[in-house]
Structure 1
Amino acid sequence: MIRDAVVDDVPALVDLENRCFETDRLSARSFRRFLAKGKAMVLVDEDDDHLLNGYALVLFHPNTALARLYSLAVDPDLRGRGIARALLTQAESRTLDRDATRMRLEVHQDNAAAQSLYHQLGYRAFAIHPDYYEDHASAVRMEKRLAPHLAQDLNRVPYYAQTLNFTCGPACLIMAMKTLQPGLTVNRQLELQLWREATTIFMTAGHGGCGALGLALAAWRRGFGVDVAMSDETEMFISSVRSEDKKDVIRMVEEGFLEEAAETDIAMRGEPMDANELCEHIRRGHIPIVLISAYRLSGDKEPHWVVLSAFDEHFIYINDPFPEPEKNRFDTDCIGIPITRAELTRMMRFGSRKHFASVVIHPLRKGKL
């Protein structure tokens, strides 16, 4: 019988863990933490004598439709009886019930039996992570779409990871421009050049952040068509700065952006774009870049730019330019993240004043290269 694990199962789970794995073992404390948090699911296979034959542990990415099979273990004396397959099948079904549509996992490079099972159940390898385990072996990263009828064209927008904490906007702009101009050479030099053009000079305690107008002008100078929807950028940026001198600099930069934008054909408006309108832009081949509250995605209380890459009847898919390997979040985790339209609408409001900003990049204007 497969059921949800409870705290009383922890000693048996630890015993099972120690018999199944020689390294990278989960502790009793870890199992208790997973059982206590709502972003994890632990299923166990129990026999008629109430002994645990195996378990499956799934983690859920906050506010997205991604799930991760963190661990799958079966008593070594009971392998080959379909227990792992049954646990994983049940875990997938329960994951889909929680509105997560993609399951990812890591498996030891030498674990041929596990890799074979995952392949049989529809998982595909999409990356290798070197030196992942305690024995320094690599992990094969695999993924399965639990609802295969959903959006398939998730690689249309080529991924570019920001190389600095403050260049999410330029990284998103690079992804948009590379999609519309495949021959574009992208590198860190371009990332920094775009940041220099789009920065507001000061933001919080670090380097300047990039606003909608700065990014829009950087794209327009390179021949792309641009639509912008934004609230008062100046107020949003100065709210994080204490120095009056720095506030004056931000105001001057924003005034310069506004004056320059007035001399272009950039379409600007003060009302937000809703999810349906953004999807229509994607359908027409445009690339929307939107400012979100990173708190709902990663827990960081900062504004953050992401790219909308695709959509279907259930989700909008985003590329997040900020991987965090130290938090076990790699580039491949940041591509095509599925988010419901309602959740994206909540994300696209930042701060107590509900600031918003969207920059939609169109194909190159005629006569521009």
Structure 2
Amino acid sequence: MTLTLRPAIADDLNALDALEQRCFQSDRLSRRSFRHWIRAQHSGLIVAEEDGQLLGYALVLLQQGTRLARLYSIAVDPDGRGRQLGRALMQAAEDYAHSQRRLYLRLEVRRDNERAIRLYQQLGYQHFDEMPDYYEDHEDALRFQKRLHYLPQNAEQLQVPWVQQSTPFTCGPACLQMAMAALGDYRPTVTEELLLWREATTIFMTAGHGGCHPLGLALAARQRGLNAEVWCNQRGPLFVDSVRDSAKKAVIETLHDHFVAQAKAQQLPVHYREFGADQIDQAIAAGRIVLVMISTWRLDGRKAPHWVAVSGSDDECFYIHDPDPGEEQVPLDCQYVPISRRLFGQMHRYGQAKLKTAVVLGG
């Protein structure tokens, strides 16, 4: 009998559901979830079949706009164990991620699953993080990753704690809290997040509450004892082209003028030119944290300004901490996210005016 590895189809639904019940006592994928992943784009559900019997599966998710893939779940039928099926499914998962030009494949595994951990280590996966109380029964998860494109690794990763924004409009304050936690003895709170937003916001934006001005973020950081400097390729009021109402434009312009005056009074360094890849590398090498405004178009299809924290770099990628998991992601997918340098350059601009701005922070 020959083992076949192939993409899952709708006719596999009953067998997948039954396999899940046999393999796991908790943290099971539902029948509805399997139906979704069979149909979904940006994912690969691979099944192992022998003589018409489904013996295992591997589910790989692709994170849009990045070079990252995640092994979301893998299962081998108890009757099929001891026959290298897990190894075969892992190879199929890597082949799928590689075919989609993903740079890393990441996974989570129970701390007490020694057999699976040995397999991942044998296949070249490196332990890089852990998540306490991750599973339904409160067991911890260990995080592993493997680089699928074997290039020299010279990443300089910064130890940047990840902070999730608590509102749709506080990405900037959440990123600033990441920097404060990385650069000093600081514990982020929701109250501080909202207070930071009050200090740094433009009040209005494309819709709803406004986002944070780079000068506003830098001034708030300076107020809390950090060294800060701003890079911006525009001198005039920012974001005014994102609103139509003249009264709202006037408010944005008033706040911009206030931030400029405060920056001048406090001798805050402001560089009116682009902050490119070389400058990001230099800042990271110096142990500084870089907050960058990006357009979310290549992440979620929406043209919205969004602050992220750069958490590392190497010859091929920049790594970001994204404070917004969105609707389909989990926090694990938003930390040390590898984005190719070319794509990052395309994301690091916003609006018709192609605004490029960054806030560089040090202790």
TM-score of the pair, normalised by structure 1: 0.81
Alpha-carbon spacing, 1:153–1:275, altered in 2? closer, same or farther (3 Å): closer
- Displacement, 1:56? 1.4
- Displacement, 1:154? 3.3
Alpha-carbon spacing, 1:280–1:9, altered in 2? closer, same or farther (3 Å): farther
Corresponding residue for residue 141 of structure 2: 140
For 2:4 and 2:277, locate their aligned partners in 1 and report how far apart those are by CA, in whole Å: 39
For 1:152 and 1:312, locate their aligned partners in 2 and report how far apart those are by CA, in whole Å: 4
Q: Deviations over 1:329-355 (max 9, x none)?
A: 12x432211110111111112234422
Which of 100, 103, 125 in structure 2 is aligned with 1:101? 103
Give unmatched runs, 5+ long, in structure 2.
none
- Displacement, 1:57? 1.5
Q: Is the 8 A contact 1:220 1:226 kept in 2?
A: no
Task: Write the mapping of 1:1-369 to structure 2, written as runs, cut at 5 A.
Answer: 1-5=3-7, 7=9, 10=12, 13=16, 16-17=19-20, 19-21=22-24, 24-27=28-31, 30-31=33-34, 33-47=36-50, 49=51, 51-107=53-109, 113-114=115-116, 117-118=119-120, 121=123, 122=125, 124=127, 126-130=130-134, 132-133=135-136, 140-146=141-147, 150=153, 153-179=156-182, 181-184=183-186, 186-221=188-223, 222=225, 224-231=227-234, 234-236=237-239, 238-324=240-326, 327-330=328-331, 332-361=332-361, 363=362
Match of 1:127, as an amino acid? M
TM-score of the pair, normalised by structure 2: 0.82
Q: Which moved more, 1:202-211 or 1:311-320?
A: 202-211
Give unmatched runs, 5+ long, in structure 1.
365-369
Q: Is the 8 A contact 2:200 2:212 kept in 1?
A: yes
Alpha-carbon spacing, 1:300–1:348, altered in 2? closer, same or farther (3 Å): same
Q: Deviations over 1:143-187 (max 9, x none)?
A: 2233585355535223333333322112222323443x4245644
Match of 1:215, as an amino acid? L
Alpha-carbon spacing, 1:155–1:224, altered in 2? closer, same or farther (3 Å): closer
SS in 2 for 1:266: coil
Match of 2:358, as an amino acid? S
For 2:285 and 2:114, locate their aligned partners in 1 and report how far apart those are by CA, in whole Å: 41
Match of 1:193, as an amino acid? L
For 2:192 and 2:34, locate their aligned partners in 1 and report how far apart those are by CA, in whole Å: 45
Match of 1:234, as an amino acid? P
Alpha-carbon spacing, 1:19–1:177, altered in 2? closer, same or farther (3 Å): closer
Alpha-carbon spacing, 1:287–1:233, altered in 2? closer, same or farther (3 Å): farther
Q: Is the 8 A contact 1:65 1:338 kept in 2?
A: yes
- Displacement, 1:78? 1.3
Alpha-carbon spacing, 1:39–1:316, altered in 2? closer, same or farther (3 Å): same
Q: Is the 8 A contact 1:275 1:344 kept in 2?
A: no
Corresponding residue for residue 367 of structure 1: none
- Displacement, 1:253? 0.8
For 1:54 and 1:5, locate their aligned partners in 2 and report how far apart those are by CA, in whole Å: 12
Match of 1:281, as an amino acid? A
Q: Which moved more, 1:303-312 or 1:344-353?
A: 344-353
- Displacement, 1:288? 1.6
Alpha-carbon spacing, 1:32–1:161, altered in 2? closer, same or farther (3 Å): closer
Q: Which moved more, 1:307-316 or 1:226-235?
A: 226-235
- Displacement, 1:250? 1.4
Match of 1:255, as an amino acid? D
For 1:111 and 1:73, locate their aligned partners in 2 and report how far apart those are by CA, in whole Å: 13
Q: Is the 8 A contact 1:216 1:228 kept in 2?
A: no
Q: Is the 8 A contact 1:228 1:266 kept in 2?
A: no
For 2:88 and 2:29, locate their aligned partners in 1 and report how far apart those are by CA, in whole Å: 22
Q: Is the 8 A contact 2:67 2:101 kept in 1?
A: yes
For 1:108 and 1:300, locate their aligned partners in 2 and report how far apart those are by CA, in whole Å: 35
- Displacement, 1:291? 0.5
In the alignment of these two chains, the number of paired residues is 354
> For the aligned residues, what is the CA RMSD?
3.2
SS in 1 for 2:274: coil
Alpha-carbon spacing, 1:156–1:51, altered in 2? closer, same or farther (3 Å): same
For 2:111 and 2:284, locate their aligned partners in 1 and report how far apart those are by CA, in whole Å: 38
- Displacement, 1:79? 1.1
Q: Is the 8 A contact 1:106 1:139 kept in 2?
A: no
Alpha-carbon spacing, 1:217–1:41, altered in 2? closer, same or farther (3 Å): same
SS in 2 for 1:201: coil
Q: Is the 8 A contact 2:108 2:144 kept in 1?
A: no
Alpha-carbon spacing, 1:151–1:233, altered in 2? closer, same or farther (3 Å): farther
Q: Is the 8 A contact 1:102 1:144 kept in 2?
A: yes
SS in 1 for 2:161: coil
For 1:18 and 1:182, locate their aligned partners in 2 and report how far apart those are by CA, in whole Å: 47
For 1:33 and 1:189, locate their aligned partners in 2 and report how far apart those are by CA, in whole Å: 37
